[in-house]
Amino acid sequence: MTLKDRCPVIQFSDFGDERGKLVVIEGGQTIPFDIARVFYIYGSDSEVVRGQHANRVSEFVLVNVAGTSKVRITDGNEEFIVNLDRPMTGVYIPPMIWKDMYDFSPDSVLLCLASTHYDGNEYIRDYEKYVAEIKAGNT
């Protein structure tokens, strides 16, 4: 399976009418996990790089509900970049994938849906260590 297959871009249902837009994301249906946690990132500027970690357990879906940003996704071997530039488009990130979020527009609100409650111990924040673990097959 390619990295892009493992980290699919997902188009959400967009119920637009003359009153405006309404986008729906349902845990376990639109996205492949039940949502345990929601957080959002805003006020990051174009110079900032966030993320810079992999998670041993958590799955995520990232959506720019306002503004734009980019996420660089890698498994230490393949890499690709997703432009998060539409409120109805997200990307699914499974465990043990390294991600960097960057190029935030001034109005960026990056919504992050997570499959777990927060546990700082499941983060790998050292890229060399991450790559070593992947190479060792310790996923």
Binding site for ligand TYD (CB under 6 A): 37, 39, 41, 50-51, 53, 118
Tell me if residue 53 is catalytic: yes
79 or 119: CB nearest ligand TYD: 119
To the nearest whole angstrom, how small is the minimum distance from the Cβ of residue 46 to ligand TYD?
Answer: 15
Are the CB atoms for 55 and 122 separated by under 8 Å?
yes
Per annotation, catalytic residue among 25, 42, 52, 53 = 53
Residue found under tokens 């992947």: 134
3-class DSSP state for residue 49?
strand
Ranges of H-type helices in 1-139: 3-6, 127-135
CB of 116 to ligand TYD, least distance (A): 9
Instruction: Tell me how far, at minimum, the Cβ of 38 lies from ligand TYD, in Å.
Output: 9
Taking the C-alpha atoms of residue 57 and residue 63, their distance in angstroms, rounded to an integer, is 20
